[in-house]
Each structure stands twice: as structure tokens, then as C-alpha cells.
Structure 1
Amino acid sequence: MYRGTGDQHDGLDRLPAPPPWRRFDGAPPAVEPAPQQAAPSLPPGLVDRAKTYRPSPEVVDAVNAAMVLRRPLLVTGRPGTGKSSLALSIAHELGLGQVLHWPVTSRSQLQDALYRYDAIGRLQETNLYRTDAAGSVLPIGRYLRLGPLGTALLPRRRPRVLLVDELDKSDMDLPNDLLNVFEEGQFEIPELARLVDTTSVEVGTADPGETATVENGIVRCHEFPIVVITNNSEREFPSAFLRRCLRINVQPPDNETLTMIVQAQLGAEATAAAHEVIARFRALRRESELATDQLLNAIYLTTSVDTADPATMSRLVDGVLTPLTWNPPI
């Protein structure tokens, strides 16, 4: 299904039925948009990043296994190894639209990713007597917006791609909070569930300008989203969380893959002109931690800026290729 080549194809049509314990009964809309119109497409800059990403065979296999089993994929690796780019690559290659992005911080909470309810805004508008033509209070859906995880769990026949970025930066309780949502493929919006006079509410989503209908206050997926969770190995996760994920450790690209990445991003001509920079990067990487984007920046700098002073350019390249574990002298 997923090949990791950067070329778009209909591989998702070969996705087998989910295991019996991972089947969800969320009802998708009777009329769904065409696949290419089902979600906003990737911005041009991210399309280039997705098309030039080159995962290892091990990563490709892990993605396909996670898709078959309908399980989140926990991607571990050093900074700069392309963990976040993997989500872009999957979305682009399989034509699944824009990636839903949840950047996790130490202050992130589960409800922020599921939905937000502007109770204060609703109260203010009520106090200002802002009513519709029938004289009733403006609908509650006007003050509700689904977050990236909530939008990913909307019932669809084709899954969305959700990037949960740097989960290891979260509060200690957040991975455990995610367990039930990942297991059940659904969540409740209490503000809608307690309504007695209506069952269908139109709410906003994480896609700008888009809305969705929530029935009986429950958002339940039809096809489990493709969830990519990145982790920089800064902490351990509970075993209960780990067993609900497929795990892959992304290794820094080897020399052959590195050359492919550079050529895909900057072209063969730039790669050939920057052989000294590439050799310096490879030598430094054997002794310290460097990210691939540092090499790309260094090559772009040397091939795009004209200078008559080689020493100045060498100092600039050294600055770009500073090891990530580098500590400045005191």
C-alpha cells in the first residue's frame, strides 16, 4: 500500500478489512467528496518535502503493518531523521489530503486535541441578545470546534493522517489519557450529549472553513486514522500505551540514502558541486549528532551564495554543521 517513493497512487484501495477487534461503526456521510477533494491538499512547500522523503524499507513495512492493524505508529529517532516528514509522505502518496497536526507541549491536554468549546463567547453573545430570526439563542455548534485528533476521528471511508508531534514532551498523564480514545476510536462531547431538543449539531473542524455533523454528542470513526506519533526518546511511555502502538526506530540515513535525499531535494548538479561538504558532514556524523537538514542547508548555502573568500564560506558551513550535542566553550 505505502511504498515511500513519493509518487501518488491508489494503494489504499488494497487495504484489507480491519481485524474484528479494530472495526468501528461510525456512519460516514451518505455522500462523501471525491478522494482528492475529501480534505485540503498539502501546501506546495510540504508537497516537495513529502515527495523527496525517502524512508528505509523497515519504516515502509512498519507503516503498512500499522495501516493493516489500524494501530498508531510510534516513531522514535534522533532529531532530524525525518519522523515528522513520514506523516507528510503517507498523506501525499496515498492522496489523503492535508496532515492533521497536533504539536505536543508540556501543557497539552487531551481535550485540546479533541475539541474546544467557547463557553465564554456563547455567554457574551447571549447577554448581548444576539439571536437568530426566530428569536432563539444562536446554535451551540457555532461555539464548538474539533481539534486535530477530533477531526481525525470523524467517520470517513478514507482515513485522515494525524501527526502527534513529540509526545515525549507531554505531561506524564497524557499517554494514558490517549489510551481509551485510541482503543475505542470515539469520544463524547458532553455539551452536545446533554442536549434534549436536538441530536444533530454542525460544528467546526481543524480544517479551516470546514464543518461536520455530530450525532448525539458522539464522534466515532468509521475507518481508524493513520496516526504517526513522534518521540525523541526523552522519556519512557507506559506499557499499556506501548502495546496499543506499533513501534519503529528511525535510523539516520546511510551514505546511499543520504545521497538520494540530497539529489531529490537539490538536484544532481548541486550534489556534485558540494562533494566536499558532503564528505565533511559524513566525517562529523561519525563522531557527533547531526541532522540531515543541516547538510541540505550547508549545500544550499555553498551552491547559492557567491563569495570570493573560501575561508568565509568554510566558517559559514562550520556554523551550519555544528553538532546538535555541541556545547559552547565557557
Structure 2
Amino acid sequence: MTWNTSYRGDGTVRADAALPEPPPWRTFPVRSAAEVFEPPTGLTEAVNAALALRRPLLITGGPGTGKSTVIEQVATELALGPVLRWHVTSRSTLGDALYRYDVLGRIHAHRLQQETARVGGEAGTDDIASFLTLGPLGTALLPSSRPRALLIDEIDKADLDLPGDLLDVLERGEFRIAELLREEQRSAWVRTWESEDRRLVENGHVQCTEFPFILMTSNGEQELPAPFLRRCVRYSMPLPTAGLVRNVVRRHLDLDVGESGPAAELVQQFVQRLAGGESLAIDQLLATLHLLSGPNGSESAERERVVSLLMRDLSGA
């Protein structure tokens, strides 16, 4: 085992107890997996087609198959800057992805200005731009010399109307900020997504000059409308082979898994369970091998308990 039983459940304080070293993918700040990700057959062609056609890339596959890692590698190799991320839920709307208007914050600020003026102070100005923030999609559509990289994660979890709402924006590469138009504010410096940077928006209009590289992921939980699919380059992550899994283990753990032995058996069981329809993620296998790869990783009841704990089907409770 690569870990000792630091916690024993006996209530005894052990302030000097040595804690195990974290696995490589759980050190912080989190390191990008771009260097260790190996694209499966056909994925590089799909990425290059999406880049050439200026179309979103839709990748379908089970959880933990590396779908969202693809964009990290593309953004790193092509120097597209930090990846913008939009994690979709059933409550997600196109408006939130484009920009957000803090109307309650503005009302509160207006009341404070009125109170300040009442007692003779300087009331200041009411700048609507201070209460606007571009969303991840809105930031990706800003004019730029190079396309930005945008991850739209789990698009299949969206409300049924969201893919249709996206179509016009993805086709035209532009949108308008209604609040700026309504107040006839011709120039506004608006904050960008997850940044203190501000970009100038003229006449409430944002128009991309380079269409962003958009990667959308789907677990296949619901069908997406045909008009939406027609505008995407589509790729399905294949079921991994034993050889591919061994290569992933080598890249992530610097561990060579042979054709036989306990580690090889775990890899083979993992591949067979996936082929049988179970829902498992590669990081479950990596975590299990990480814990069992130390000098104490022998066949034992503890070993079996670790395997049972970490290699549970994700479709169950």
C-alpha cells in the first residue's frame, strides 16, 4: 500500500501521524492533464475538423473518459489562453452564459447613493457597466486575434430548449446586451468571466472576430435536436482497450503494468466491466492502482476492501 492507516478509529490523538502523499492529479494548484492525455483514434481528426470549419466539437462518452481534458490539451498546444468553462445544469440559460446583470446590486448601490446625497456627500455616478459581467460564452465571443477555448460541459443535462437557443449565437458569433441598449450607453467597459479584466463594448454589441474553439461534452443522457447536431462536429469516445489503459496508467502514475500480476488483473477487470455495460471512470482505476502500488500492496483482505471501495459502478447509489 502507498498509505498507512493514519486514522484508526480509536479516538487517540496522533498529532505526529504521517499523512500519505497525494496522487499526482490531486496536488494543488491542480496541474493540467494536457501533457499526459493521449487522444484515442480519430479524436485529433475531429478536433482539426472543428478548428477548420469553425464549428463546435461535441464529444459523447461515459464519465471519466477524458472528454473535458481534450480542451486543456488543445488550448495548451495552440496557445489559446486559459480555458473558459460553462458547466451546464437543468437550470442553465443562454442569457447567463452570455452575460449577467446584477440588478439587485445596482438597486442597493442606488439607495446608498441617495442616502449619501441626503447627508450632503458626493453621490457618485450610476454606471450600469459596473453591474454587468460577461459569462463564459460571452467572453469567448469578444473580438480577439486568436480564438478562445470554451468548454460547455454536460450539454445533455440542459433544459430541452437550451440547445435550440444556442443555435443563433453559434451561427452568427454575436449577441447584444439589452441593458446597455435600453439605457443608450454607447460605450461600456464590462468585466470578463472569472477575471478583473474589462473589455470595451460598443453600442451593446459583442461580435467575435475569431470564432472560439468550443468543446461540448455529453454523457448521452438525452438526445439533442437534429438542427443542433447538424452544426457540430461529433465524436464518440471509444471503450478503452487493455493496451490503452496500460498506457494511461504509465503516463499518470509512471507505473508499467505487465501482462500478468495483480495490477494487470485490475486493468483487465476494468476493461471487461466497461464492455459489460458498467459505468466506471479511468480515475477510479488510477486511484486504486495508486493505493495498491506500494510495497505493502499484496493480496490481502485489505486489498480486496480497497478495490471494492474504489471500483464501484457509477450508475449505482
TM-score (normalised: structure 2): 0.82
d(CA) in 1 for partners of 2:297, 2:285: 19
Structure 1 residue 46: Cα displacement: 3.9
- Aligned equivalent of 1:201, options 188, 199, 220: 188
Any idea what the Cα deviations from partners look like across 1:201-225, whole Å, max 9, x if unmatched? Answer: 1111113222111111011101000
Work out whether 1:80 is the aligned partner of 2:70. Answer: no
- Aligned equivalent of 2:304, options 308, 314, 324: 314
- 1:301–1:176 CA distance, 2 compared to 1 (3 A): same
Contact 1:288 1:325 (8 Å CA) reproduced: no
Q: Which residue of 1 aligns with 2:239?
A: 252
Any idea what the Cα deviations from partners look like across 1:125-159, whole Å, max 9, x if unmatched? Answer: 11111789985523211100001010111110111
d(CA) in 1 for partners of 2:194, 2:45: 30
- 1:262–1:236 CA distance, 2 compared to 1 (3 A): same
d(CA) in 2 for partners of 1:57, 1:93: 18
Q: Which residue of 2 aligns with 1:282?
A: 271
Work out whether 1:167 is the aligned partner of 2:151. Answer: no
Q: Which residue of 2 aligns with 1:302?
A: 292
Contact 1:46 1:88 (8 Å CA) reproduced: no
d(CA) in 2 for partners of 1:182, 1:286: 36
Secondary structure of 1:50 counterpart? coil
Gaps of 5+ in 2: 1-27
d(CA) in 2 for partners of 1:123, 1:287: 57
Contact 2:113 2:123 (8 Å CA) reproduced: no
Structure 1 residue 309: Cα displacement: 7.2
**Residue type of the alignment partner of 1:319:** L
More moved, 249-258 vs 294-303: 249-258
Task: Give the root-mean-square deviation of aligned CA atoms.
Answer: 2.3
**How do 1:8-87 and structure 2 match up within 5 A?**
45-47=30-32, 49-87=33-71
Work out whether 1:324 is the aligned partner of 2:302. Answer: no
Contact 2:83 2:151 (8 Å CA) reproduced: yes
TM-score (normalised: structure 1): 0.79
Secondary structure of 1:57 counterpart? coil
**Residue type of the alignment partner of 1:155:** P
Q: Which residue of 1 aligns with 2:14?
A: none
Secondary structure of 1:68 counterpart? helix
d(CA) in 1 for partners of 2:167, 2:31: 30
**Residue type of the alignment partner of 1:158:** R
More moved, 184-193 vs 129-138: 129-138
**Residue type of the alignment partner of 2:212:** P
Any idea what the Cα deviations from partners look like across 1:7-66, whole Å, max 9, x if unmatched? Answer: xxxxxxxxxxxxxxxxxxxxxxxxxxxxxxxxxxxx85241x121111123111000000
Structure 1 residue 305: Cα displacement: 8.2
Gaps of 5+ in 1: 1-42
d(CA) in 2 for partners of 1:286, 1:234: 19
d(CA) in 1 for partners of 2:239, 2:197: 38
Structure 1 residue 277: Cα displacement: 2.5
- Aligned equivalent of 1:210, options 197, 220, 244: 197
Q: When the two structures are aligned, how many residues end up with a matched partner?
A: 282
